[in-house]
Amino acid sequence: MSAGQVRGFVRVAAAVPPVRVTDFVYNREQTLDLWRQAHAEGVATVFFPELGLTSYTSGDLHMDGHLLRLGHESLVWLLQRGEAEGLQTVAFVGMPLFVHPGVYNCAVAIQGGSVLAVVPKGFLPNYGEFYEKRQFREGRYVPAGSTVEVAEQVVPFGMDVLFHTQNVPGLVVGVEICEDGWVQHPPNAYQASAGATVCGNLSGSNFLLGKAETRHRLCWRASSPGKCAYLYAGAGPGESSSDVAYDAHALIYENGHCLGETTRFSRRPQLLVADVDLELLLHQRATGGTFGDCAVHHQRSFRPVPFTAHLPESFRPLRRAIDRHPFVPKDIETLATRCWEVFEIQTNALMTRMEHFENQRLVLALSGGRDSTLAALACANALDQLGLPREHLLCVSMPGLGTSQHTRNASRMLAHALGASFEEEDIREESYLVLRDQHHPAVRRYTEWRERAGREHDAALFVDFLGAHPQFADVELENVQARVRKLRVMMKANRHRAVEIGTGDLSEKALGWSTYSGDHISMYDLNPGVPKTLVEFVIRWVANERIQTWSAGGDESLRQVLFDILEAPISPELLPTNAEGRIAQLTESTIGPFQLHDFFLYWFVNHGTRPARILFLAEAAFGDEYPREDLRKWLLLFFRRFFGQQWKRDCTADGPKVGTVALSPRGDWRMPSDAVVRTWLEEIEQA
């Protein structure tokens, strides 16, 4: 099995060689050097600039017989060298070609010593600095099914060809030339509709102020709706500067995301290489129903041109950046915008719910952790927007058997800083009584121990006993506390005719990290669309950007308590603290790092990625932080819990969708609770 099939990737490139106007020997040698480099790096297909063998700025010389002959000789020379050196990377080179009754601006596909096909430019710019209709004929009028003889080979000629690989599933290549990509109905759109997953543009586009940003938008427009990879190979340094300038700009986009770009205005040869995720593209097409509908509606006939794709020996290292935190933008401004959007979605969704049911009060179990903190902030903001006093938010702190003094204080301080109502209700005794009535082993042994010691019962003594005997701290003991808390806040919501707010985030929903009929349920969820890795940043954004605009609570005390909460470890605090009073139950020690689980969740749900590929991608992203076996261990746990906890998600509360990944059974994610996970686990174990 080939490297491409194993991982579902294909390596592609955009080449920007230096050029000299009508210096045929120099131009072909520069082209050959980058073609060799592409082959050495395992590139399947590489796109060169428009008319690169002669130079785009040759002008009327493109109609000169001498230039046409030497351009053709340069192509023959490349084919001879390609055959002699076994260059199996398919190269799309730009050159003028006379085909009766005129000259065409062409992309010639070559592999080794063979010409695969010739694709002419369809739309010729004839405005401003461009006057191509003066020199070339329009390729869109070439009859379907045409052929041409070039380099003593008769090959398909026209805009109706697509290049189909025979050894990499899903790899179909289309090509267009410069202006073709700028028109409102570009060839790449029809190529993608016909199955092309990689489209390339051979460009001679000159540079104007702001044009780099426009090219990015062009590549986004082609790759995102087309659910394909789009490569833009711009004119290289050395094109004539008589009237215009060139900036050696090349770009590679995939499904709307930029995988890389060249150094603009560089005078050096550049080969921009990236690994395209074919499985991702095919999944996006399969799950985006309107893509298929549009493809059928705009169906055009293309001739398949077969080729065998050249592949690297290994995709390690992967030639693309794999983001460790796909839910958290790296760019500071983009991250701030995302945080603002998340907060506004939460706030406005809650306001709509309150207005519909005519509720004016909210009840929230405030633990002092991150999730309940984010929910409290959104609740306060919603009350402000509705013109209601923040006292209408009742924050209830319910210290249990494992609550630390730090989070207990944090709950109180946060509620006071927000200007919300606050109540503290110790649930240790109530939890003990439920455990006693249900004959929990811990209570029986605790009673024997207490009677031998001649001590009277109190809740603190029971906690001390559990701390000294951790073997009795089981899931039953943990869940009792969560259910007692939920019962209390639900009763308060009934009493005040309030909406009881749930706080579980997207990551916890995915893993089922909640107590069924405890924190698993609520009258309305605020965080179900927010992944754990993003929760922290939204809180920081509120602390740094938002609270200063609030009419109440916008002071340094609130900001300080928010930062203090973010410093604490993530824990449900259902088991007793250690001898030093520190949190003993750390969530990420039990179920694994949330940054890994959010990574797994993103690739599995958003892109339908196979488990072995998720492990491969995790190694590329986290290999310097986690050993392979740790990544495998946590990925196995993720799939076990994701499949095993669907029954909880099936009856989750209403809550707003925030990003592209959502798990609501009423919207984005539907799966049977009894789906068998075995084959997913086997693939991970065998990877």
Q: Is residue 327 part of a domain?
A: no
* Domain end call among 527, 555, 575: 575
Mean pLDDT taken over the chain: 93
User: In 10 A of CB 400, how many CB atoms?
Assistant: 25
Q: Is residue 51 part of a domain?
A: yes
More reliable by pLDDT, 573 or 160: 160
Beta strands in 79-228 (DSSP E): 90-99, 102-111, 114-120, 147-150, 153-156, 161-165, 172-177, 198-202
Q: What is the pLDDT of residues 273-296, one digit of tens each?
A: 999 999 999 999 999 889 999 999
Residues 80 and 198 in one domain: yes
Q: Quick one: average pLDDT of 232-260?
A: 92
- Judge whether 121 counts as a catalytic residue: yes
- Judge whether 279 counts as a catalytic residue: no
Contact yes or no for 428/575 (Cβ under 8 A): no
Residues 408 and 527 in one domain: yes
Contact yes or no for 481/488 (Cβ under 8 A): no
Q: How far is CA 161 from CA 109, 114, 117, 119, in A?
A: 11, 16, 8, 8
Q: Is residue 580 part of a domain?
A: no
Q: What is the pLDDT of residues 88-120, one digit of tens each?
A: 999 999 999 999 999 999 999 999 999 999 999
> In sequence order, what are the residues at sequence separation of 6 or more whose Cβ sits closer than 8 angstroms to the Cβ of residue 324?
595, 599, 621, 622
State the CATH number of the domain containing residue 217: 3.60.110.10
> CA angle at residue 658 from 655 to 659, to 5 degrees?
140
Of 583, 582, 565, 567, give the one whose Cα is nearest residue 414.
565
Residues 370 and 415 in one domain: yes
Q: What is the pLDDT of residues 133-148, one digit of tens each?
A: 999 999 999 999 999 9
Q: How far is CA 242 from CA 129, 178, 609, in A?
A: 11, 20, 51
Query: Which of 121, 227, 509, 532 is the catalytic position?
Result: 121
Q: Quick one: average pLDDT of 385-409?
A: 93
Residues 553 and 602 in one domain: no
Residues 79 and 171 in one domain: yes
State the CATH number of the domain containing residue 680: 1.10.10.1140
Residues 221 and 353 in one domain: no
- Judge whether 50 counts as a catalytic residue: yes
Q: Is residue 438 part of a domain?
A: no
The alpha carbon of 94 is separated from its chain's Cα centroid by a whole number of angstroms, namely 34
Residue type, 562: L
User: In 10 A of CB 579, how many CB atoms?
Assistant: 9
Q: What is the pLDDT of residues 624-653, one digit of tens each?
A: 999 999 999 999 999 999 999 999 999 999
Q: What is the pLDDT of residue 573?
A: 64
Per the DSSP assignment, residues forming a β-bridge with 106 are 95, 120
Contact yes or no for 184/198 (Cβ under 8 A): no
Q: Which helix (H) or strand (E) holds 304?
A: strand 303-307
Q: How do strand 9-16 and strand 45-47 relate by DSSP bridges?
A: parallel
Residues 605 and 672 in one domain: yes
> Edge-to-edge strands of the sheet including 257-261?
257-261, 250-254, 229-233, 198-202, 172-177, 161-165, 303-307
Residues 658 and 618 in one domain: yes
Tell me the DSSP string of 312-376: -S---S-SS---S-TTS-SSHHHHHHHHHHHHHHHHHHHHHHHHHHT---EEEE--SSHHHHHHH
Q: What is the pLDDT of residues 310-327, one digit of tens each?
A: 999 999 999 999 999 999
Q: Is residue 313 part of a domain?
A: no
Record the pTM: 0.91
* Domain end call among 575, 598, 615: 575
Query: Which of 50, 132, 239, 573 is the catalytic position?
Result: 50
Rounded distance between C-alpha atoms, residue 123 and residue 94, angstroms: 15
Residues 361 and 290 in one domain: no
Query: Which of 132, 176, 178, 227 is the catalytic position?
Result: 178
The encoded tokens of residue 40 equal: 């050495």
Q: What is the pLDDT of residues 647-675, one digit of tens each?
A: 999 999 999 999 999 999 998 999 999 99
The encoded tokens of residue 14 equal: 């955009």
Q: Is residue 2 part of a domain?
A: no
Residues 571 and 592 in one domain: no
pLDDT band for position 577 (cuts 50, 70, 90): low
Q: Which helix (H) or strand (E) holds 634?
A: helix 628-644
Number of domains in the chain: 3
For residue 56, the SS3 value is helix
pLDDT band for position 47 (cuts 50, 70, 90): very high
Q: What is the pLDDT of residue 109?
A: 98
Q: Is residue 447 part of a domain?
A: no
Rounded distance between C-alpha atoms, residue 368 and residue 6, angstroms: 46
pLDDT tops 70 at residue 584: no
State the CATH number of the domain containing residue 517: 3.40.50.620
Residues 96 and 141 in one domain: yes
Instruction: Show the domain range for 236.
Output: 7-307
Q: Is residue 59 part of a domain?
A: yes
Residues 602 and 530 in one domain: no
* Domain end call among 265, 291, 307: 307
